[in-house]
Amino acid sequence: MTARGFLRHETILALLVLVALFVLDRQSDRFLTVDNLFNQGRLMTEVGLIAIVMTFVIVTGGIDLSVGSILGMTAILIGVFWKNMGLPLPAAIGMGLVVGAFAGFVNGVIITRFKVPPLIATLGTLALYRGIAEGVSEARSVRGYPEWFFVLGQGELWGAPTQLWIFAAVAIVAAVVLAYTTFGRTTYAVGSNEVAARFSGLGVDGAKIAIYSASGLAAAIAAAIFVSRVSTTRSDMGTGIELDAITAVVLGGTSIFGGRGTIIGTLLGLVLIQSLKNGLSLAGVKSDGTVVLIGAVLILTILISNLVHRDATR
Amino acid sequence: MTVPAPRARRSSVARFVAAYGQEIVIACALIALFIVVSAINPRFLGANNVNTIVSGNAYIAVAAIGMSMIIITGHIDVSVGALIGVLATISGTLAVSGYPVWVAWTAPIFIGAAINGGVGALVAYGRLPSIVVTLGMLSILRGGLVSSTGGAWINDLPPAFQIAQARWFGAPAPIWFMVILTVLAFLWMKNTAFGRSLYAIGGNAEAARAAGIPVERRTVQVFMIHGAFAGIATMLFATQLRVIQSTVPPNLELTIITASVIGGVSILGGTGTVIGSTLAAVLFAAIGSAMIFVNVSAYWLRAVIGLLILVTVLADMARRNREFWSNQR
Amino acid sequence: MTALVRLQGVSKSFAGIRVLRDVDFDVQPGEVHALLGENGAGKSTLIKIIAGTHAPDSGVIRVGDVEMRAITPREAAKGGIATVYQELLLFPDLTAAENIFLGHAPKTGLGTLDWNQMRRRARELLDSLDSHDLDVDVKVGALSVANRQRIEIAKALSQNARVLIMDEPTAALADADVRRLMIVIKRLRERGVGIIYVSHKLPEIFEIADRVTVLRDGALIGTLPIAEVTEQTLVTMMVGREIDHLFPKPEPNFGATVLRVSNLGLGDRVRDISFELRRGEILGLAGLVGSGRTELALILFGITPATSGVIELDGRPVTITSPRQAKTLGIAYVPEDRGLQGLVRPMTVAQNNSMAALSHVARGVFLDLRAEAAKAAAAIRQLGIRARGPDQIVAQLSGGNQQKVVLGKWLETAPRILIMDEPTRGIDVGAKAEIHALMGRLAQQGLAILMISSELPEVLGMSDRVLVMHGGRLVATIDRADATPSTVGAAMAAASHAGEAA
């Protein structure tokens, strides 16, 4: 697993992104405009935040299916804390973030302490957290948020959409942490050989719990942004977002078996998906046709990358 | 059962309990649920209600049979919900375009098998993890469904198409389908070389190959069988109402996977039976209905199921850990 | 008599590297043919060609009277060739009977499996292997390694195997099980089965083999009747040079007691263990597999914390509840299972080398990749690791060099106590001697070493004192001067009789 091995998939993907951008630009003169790109950035932020932390999760060999439910639950709770319990909105959001991180922490504890496979553990909490959202909200939505709150999801800061700054900050921190810190190294070691990592005296369980908690926190941040962007809270928010995030991560070259993957790859995966969605719709393809294409691109990219890798290793 | 030479051996009862522990637990939970809820509200046990509970969810149990086979073989399929949606639309379109109803019923079975055969080929020969391929398929099928129907519902289905509402020998047809298919699939998986090879591949693919099992071909075949079961599930799902919506219940694939897993199919492959997954599917449906009968808000249904999953899994892990330690001596 | 299998002039390359060149090999009915060689000599490739998993590049293979270029697994099975692998290829969730008959189960008239016949025939096969106590309905995952191996052999016999390939069959067996296996092998030989026996353990080969073939660097060095060779000649054939100092142990230089263990216990697996370990001392820990040796090591390393007793470091009592804590206390553990517990195989030498001491190659939380590479380069030099450089992936190294990487990883933590569990298992003779020399040097520098080993010569050659365990208890402590094969062996044997009931 040298730097070259890491880069190979990302290089293929970067070329693919460039080709896509070039082709899409030829289809519509509205595609490569600052306004359009910023707008796409807005739409990408929620799944992007989740995908970035999901990269850590998958690099450890785990998976987190509950993020969409955590998003829904947090969104509902922010609304409830604010409207029904009368907390000031910033405090409600703060408590929402705490709840999200705690929900992730619970995932981490179930996975490390009780040795439940992550797929099963988060399948259970997917139902549980979504169930809490549904039970608490009873299918009622919360509206009427104060105007200043919409800055987060609909406004701009220093000339760019507010949430893009949050996204950029999270992405940079995550990229540095994964590539250049002892925590990142531990993450890779856990994913490549968890037993050996434990036998090397690395804090395996602690790292995993931290990562799942961060995953819950990312989903909660995404929830706040989501609520601000669409001006309302509903219990079905974020349904299926876990699969979109996993798609971006896997498309970005992170091995579903763990031990391999980068934040850059995930970002490229996100950009490719979003530009296909947007560019094709500008070119007149229906958005559902785009979803088909994304599925096909996912399978083909991994297939090609697999073939290249096999040639390289044998 | 003639075995020579007397030696310490477990009784056949103990063997049965050891082999079907999870199935027994689910069956007991189901019985306990019926006893408790009918004590609170006797109408729960009415034949009508039981029929409704089971027949409305039989399609989940049927789809979970195929899913259990996939998971036992060591794979996973997160696209089956979208597949059922696509197949339902195909089936309904055929039915309203004047094809005989049996064509509309059986076409999904063959198309499901063909589509999943392709998935299986990518997994077996392309050496892609099944979760990646089916994640891609999820997008493809979901997008394909909406873009081909434009979100429109199919109305005016011919009455003869409504097989899910038929009653045979006093019971709704879906129950017959569910029970017969479960028993057949169980016997097939227990008593044929093909069925056993699925357990072998899921338990240790390398060893299966060394034992002469054509692992790749079996993988494609089990995906095709799973697709066929999705087709049968479609038949039961699409004929429930007079209309076919262009959507399936959200997270349908996860519900189906959950039924398999709660039913005792190990996500790591190699163990479990379809009896367990069917019982689990029935249990979910019964819990949903029970909540109404004991006046708990239905909005909490999902939370209860989530808790149930976690409790079952934690109990299972605790049991396994105990077995693990007792084997160390 | 015609050979069951005969290979002539067989060669094989992987990625341009010759792993077998022009090798002749044959197995006669009713003989045990031992296959010897250092790791990487080409033994596994040879048996994989016979088993049908690899196709040779050139050469001729004869199975009975049929001549072919290569065997497929199916043809191998049809020709009666079966393999008992080092990593047993069984299905943990299926029963013993089903494992034996998987792929060729008896069927009823309807084409479904005949479970009754399957169980009956499994019973007969296991009885013929003297395994009357093995339940055919038990899940294989619940069985011991020795019992799983019997299942594997029964599986081979159920296919009417005439050639049985056994790859390191005794590597993970306790002595008593090894003796039972020898009896089974002799019985199979009497039935006319030809056995290809791969092992590193010379005494076994002298006990059981009729002929022996030695490979070195992919070339055939010779095939000789066992009566015409001695241990010395075999070793010379394997390594191509005389090994004069197999156990080069410098004079010990003991310091203060670093570790004192009193009445240590863990459930009924480790009971009432007390001993002391001094600076500069190599303390050997002998005993059968399953006697609690590794369990004791895992307690000291914090993987499975003790349930009773006291551990004192430098006279101060400590409780050790995690490997992380053990590491901080200066305890290092070179584990038994290198590939699983010791190394992250897809990572590089440098990354593995720093794995236990990440803080030594980091500034704050950030990794200093240059410092990491420098440390790895130094380790490669000092430990004589044969690698292209710090960036080479560990999985590509030979077993001996991988073991040195594990050792290097722990030396980076500057430990005061080094626990080595089977330090030279499965590695070739040359690397073995290097590791032994290294252990001697480390002890001389003041490191306290606790060495667990199943190889009596290693225990006797390296230890300053020998502890013998059985049934979770410490049954003897023998000084170097008094430690001979007979005294240590007697301690283990006496204990094994006394502890039979346990």
Spell A137-168 as b/e; 16+ CB within 10 A means b.
Answer: beeeebeebeeebbebbbeeeeeebbbbebbe
* Chain C nearest C-alpha distance from B7 (Å): 7
Pick A131's closest partner by Cβ from B128, B142, B302.
B302
Predicted confidence (pLDDT) per residue in B81-121, tens digit: 999 999 998 998 888 888 888 888 899 999 999 999 999 99
Residue by residue, pLDDT tens for chain B (329 residues) are: 344 443 445 567 777 777 777 788 888 888 888 888 888 888 877 777 778 888 888 999 999 999 999 999 999 998 999 999 999 989 988 888 888 888 888 999 999 999 999 999 999 998 888 988 998 898 888 888 877 777 677 877 887 777 777 788 878 889 999 999 999 999 999 999 899 999 999 988 888 887 778 999 999 999 999 999 999 999 998 888 777 777 777 778 888 988 898 887 877 778 888 999 999 999 888 888 888 787 777 788 888 888 888 887 787 777 666 654 444 43
| Confidence class for position C407, pLDDT limits 50, 70, 90 | very high
Instruction: Give the per-residue pLDDT at A157.
Output: 83
Pick A181's closest partner by Cβ from C322, C346, C365.
C365
Q: By C-alpha distance, which of C326, C367, C324, C369 is closest to A197? A: C324
Percent of chain C with pLDDT over 90: 35
Q: Kindly determine whether residue A299 and residue B132, on different chains, have CB atoms separated by under 8 Å.
A: yes
Q: Kindly determine whether residue A201 and residue C348, on different chains, have CB atoms separated by under 8 Å.
A: no
What is the rounded average pLDDT of the residues C149-162?
Answer: 86
SS3 C63: strand
What is the rounded average pLDDT of the residues C480-491?
Answer: 80
Q: Kindly determine whether residue A299 and residue B136, on different chains, have CB atoms separated by under 8 Å.
A: yes
Mean pLDDT estimate for chain A: 87
* Chain B nearest C-alpha distance from C150 (Å): 16
How far apart CA C385 and CA C393 sit, in angstroms, is 13
Instruction: Give the per-residue pLDDT at C240.
Output: 64
* Chain B nearest C-alpha distance from A172 (Å): 27
CB–CB of B283/A119 below 8 Å? no
Give phi and psi for A61, each to the nearest 5: 90, 10
CB–CB of A10/A263 below 8 Å? no
CB–CB of B178/B278 below 8 Å? yes
What is the rounded average pLDDT of the residues C470-479?
Answer: 87
Instruction: Give the per-residue pLDDT at B8.
Output: 43
More confident residue, A4 or A145: A145
| Closest chain C residue by Cα to residue B6 | C132
Which residues fall within 8 angstroms of residue A238, CB to CB, at 6 or more apart? A46, A67, A68, A69, A70, A71, A72, A75, A219, A222, A223, A226
Token pair recorded at residue B135: 């994640």
List the subunits that have 3+ CB pairs under 8 angstroms with B: A, C
More confident residue, B328 or C157: C157
Distances (CA, A) of B322 to A292, B315, C298: 46, 11, 19
Q: Give the amino acid at C358.
A: L
Token pair recorded at residue A115: 């040795």
**Is B44 buried (19+), middle (13-18) or exposed (0-12) by CB count in 10 A?**
buried
Given CB atoms, is B13 within the 8 Å cutoff of chain C?
Answer: no
List the subunits that have 3+ CB pairs under 8 angstroms with A: B, C
Given CB atoms, is C391 within the 8 Å cutoff of chain B?
Answer: no
Instruction: Give the per-residue pLDDT at C130.
Output: 78
- For chain A, the residues whose C-beta falls within 8 A of a C-beta of chain C are 1-2, 180-186, 188-189, 192-193, 195-203, 259-260, 314
Q: By C-alpha distance, which of A217, A222, A300, A270 is closest to A12? A: A300
Token pair recorded at residue C10: 């067989």
How far apart CA C476 and CA B90 sit, in angstroms, is 78
How far apart CA C162 and CA A268 sit, in angstroms, is 57
- ipTM at complex level: 0.84
What is the rounded average pLDDT of the residues A118-144?
Answer: 88
- Is residue C287 predicted with pLDDT exceeding 70? yes
Q: In sequence order, what DSSP letters do the residues of C361-384 get, joined into one string? A: GEETTEE-HHHHHHHHHHHHHHHT
Q: By C-alpha distance, which of A230, A264, A247 is closest to A301? A: A247
Which chain C residues are within 8 Å of A260, Cβ to Cβ?
346
3-state SS record for chain B: CCCCCCCCCCCHHHHHHHHCHHHHHHHHHHHHHHHHHHHHCHHHHCHHHHHHHHHHHHHHHHHHHHHHHHHHCCCCCCCHHHHHHHHHHHHHHHHHCCCCHHHHHHHHHHHHHHHHHHHHHHHHCCCCCHHHHHHHHHHHHHHHHHHHHCCCCECCCCHHHCHHHCEECCEEHHHHHHHHHHHHHHHHHHHCHHHHHHHHHHHCHHHHHHCCCCHHHHHHHHHHHHHHHHHHHHHHHHCCCCCECCCCCCCHHHHHHHHHHHCCCCCCCCCCCHHHHHHHHHHHHHHHHHHHHCCCCHHHHHHHHHHHHHHHHHHHHHHHHHHHHHHCC
Q: Which of residues 9-68 of B touch A (CB under 8 A)?
A: none
Q: Which residues pair with C38 in a beta bridge?
A: none
Q: Which of residues 351-380 of C touch A (CB under 8 A)?
A: 351, 355-356, 358-359, 362, 365-367
- Is residue C500 predicted with pLDDT exceeding 50? no
Given CB atoms, is C393 within the 8 Å cutoff of chain B?
Answer: no
Runs of H (alpha helix) within B215-269: 215-238, 252-262
Beta strands in C375-461 (DSSP E): 417-421, 448-452
Which chain B residues are within 8 Å of A109, Cβ to Cβ?
none
Predicted confidence (pLDDT) per residue in C292-328, tens digit: 888 999 999 999 999 999 999 999 999 999 999 999 9
* Chain C nearest C-alpha distance from A200 (Å): 5
Instruction: Give the per-residue pLDDT at B11.
Output: 66
Pick B204's closest partner by Cβ from C77, C83, C89.
C89
Under 8 Å CB pairs connecting chains B and C tally to 89
Q: Kindly determine whether residue A2 and residue C393, on different chains, have CB atoms separated by under 8 Å.
A: yes
Which chain A residues are within 8 Å of B317, Cβ to Cβ?
114-116
| Confidence class for position A64, pLDDT limits 50, 70, 90 | very high
Instruction: Give the per-residue pLDDT at C395.
Output: 87
Given CB atoms, is C94 within the 8 Å cutoff of chain B?
Answer: yes
Model-level pTM? 0.81
Percent of chain C with pLDDT over 70: 93
CB–CB of B136/A296 below 8 Å? yes
What is the rounded average pLDDT of the residues A40-47?
Answer: 90
Instruction: Give the per-residue pLDDT at B21.
Output: 75
Given CB atoms, is C335 within the 8 Å cutoff of chain A?
Answer: yes
Q: Give the amino acid at C329.
A: L
Instruction: Give the per-residue pLDDT at B112.
Output: 95
| Confidence class for position C243, pLDDT limits 50, 70, 90 | very low
Which chain C residues are within 8 Å of B72, Cβ to Cβ?
none
For tokens 């949903």, the residue is B288
Token pair recorded at residue A181: 């810190």
Instruction: Give the per-residue pLDDT at C497.
Output: 44
Residue C338 C-beta-side C-alpha neighbours within 13 Å: 22
Mutate to test the interface with A, among C294, C298, C301, C324 (most CBs of A within 10 A): C324
Q: By C-alpha distance, which of A86, A76, A81, A72 is closest to A126? A: A72
Pick B143's closest partner by Cβ from A124, A135, A291.
A291
Mutate to test the interface with B, among C78, C102, C137 (most CBs of B within 10 A): C102
Q: Which residues pair with C167 in a beta bridge?
A: C198
Given CB atoms, is C396 within the 8 Å cutoff of chain A?
Answer: no
What is the rounded average pLDDT of the residues A118-140?
Answer: 88
Instruction: Give the per-residue pLDDT at B5.
Output: 40
Runs of H (alpha helix) within C91-144: 96-101, 115-128
Q: Kindly determine whether residue C340 and residue A202, on different chains, have CB atoms separated by under 8 Å.
A: no
| Closest chain C residue by Cα to residue B3 | C120
**Which of the residue ranges A222-231, B269-278, B305-314, C1-10 has the most confident prediction, judged by mean pLDDT?**
A222-231
Q: Give the amino acid at B133.
A: V
Predicted confidence (pLDDT) per residue in C246-272, tens digit: 566 778 888 899 999 999 999 878 889
Q: Which residues pair with B198 in a beta bridge?
A: none
* Chain A nearest C-alpha distance from B77 (Å): 13
Q: Which of residues 302-321 of C touch A (CB under 8 A)?
A: 303
Instruction: Give the per-residue pLDDT at C282.
Output: 94
**Is A230 buried (19+), middle (13-18) or exposed (0-12) by CB count in 10 A?**
middle
Given CB atoms, is B159 within the 8 Å cutoff of chain A?
Answer: no
Instruction: Give the per-residue pLDDT at C15.
Output: 63
